[in-house]
Structure 1
Amino acid sequence: MLAVTFTDNGANAVLPLHPRAAAQARKVLGSVISHGDTLIDTAALLLSELVSNAVRHAHGTQLRVAIAHDQVKDVIVVAVFDRNPEMRRGTRCSADGQPDDLETGRGLDLLDALAESWGVATVGDRGKWIWFSLPRRTVAET
């Protein structure tokens, strides 16, 4: 069941821990950021990565998504909460230490490359929030 609450500057959603959760999260994102906005594609990619990781690795039956526009700093902040307090970096090397061609484990690399900033905040043994921020830039700045 999808439950969305809208705020003055964003939205909060509770999504089922299901493979379709990334698509549902992108719909919530689209309700906060207009599809003509220059950062919608990057925000959607990073949000999809975080939600997909939660679906794959988290415990429980739900995850939370929070999306906000910080109007003072003019940035979009996106956060995903899951019930797995552990944070593991993906392994992309084979047993002999050589780079591997795995198709998974690149989400945090995308955060490093595309987000202005990102981080993890654990909530005791109940889970963690993984968040990222993206600056809103005009077309002339990109």
Structure 2
Amino acid sequence: MTGHSAVATLPRHPRSAAHARRVLAKVAPTDCAVVDTAALLLSEVVSNAVRHAGGAAIEVAVARDPAVGAITGAVFDREPAMGSGSRSGDAPAGEMETGRGLDLLEALAASWGVATVGDHGKWVWFRLPAE
């Protein structure tokens, strides 16, 4: 870990989203304009990996570009394919309890994507510019 980036291996467990936010806190000061949005998106991506991917662990990487204040977050899991993005249940969109993580990425991140690593897994990443 440096002052501007951090990487952690976390168990595939529901509490890992909280651990990932602590990794983010080591990189992004609380007065950073986009730290709350970064924490939300990182939690969503970690939660998706915990819920939908296989394997015992996930990797979390966070970097901050201090020159512009931009934050990049990424989560690696052992599932090479991206899920269909389907939402749970048949409830109307406003009543759903799950299935909004990718919508949040689309709405809040300046950019995001998925980078597969052969059949070993994938990185789901996002970037937030300074506001």
* TM-score computed with the length of structure 1 as normaliser: 0.83
Question: What residue in structure 2 maps to residue 104 of structure 1?
Answer: 98
Alignment partners' CA distance in 2, 1:37 and 1:46: 15
More RCO (CA 8 Å, sep 6+): 2
Q: Unmatched 5+ residue regions in structure 2?
A: none
Deviation of residue 72 (structure 1)? 5.8
Q: Does 2:85 correspond to 1:90? A: yes
Q: Deviations over 1:59-115 (max 9, x none)?
A: 1111001111234664211100000111124323866xx845321110000000000
Aligned length: 130
Q: Does 2:62 correspond to 1:67? A: yes
Question: What residue in structure 1 maps to residue 125 of structure 2?
Answer: 131
Q: Deviations over 1:16-49 (max 9, x none)?
A: 1111100000001011111122211100000000
Question: What residue in structure 1 maps to residue 50 of structure 2?
Answer: 55
Q: Provide the identity percentage.
A: 58
CA contact (8 A) 1:118 1:132 kept: yes
Alignment partners' CA distance in 2, 1:93 and 1:19: 18
Question: What residue in structure 1 maps to residue 7 of structure 2?
Answer: 12
RMSD: 1.9
Q: Unmatched 5+ residue regions in structure 1?
A: 1-5, 138-142
* TM-score computed with the length of structure 2 as normaliser: 0.90
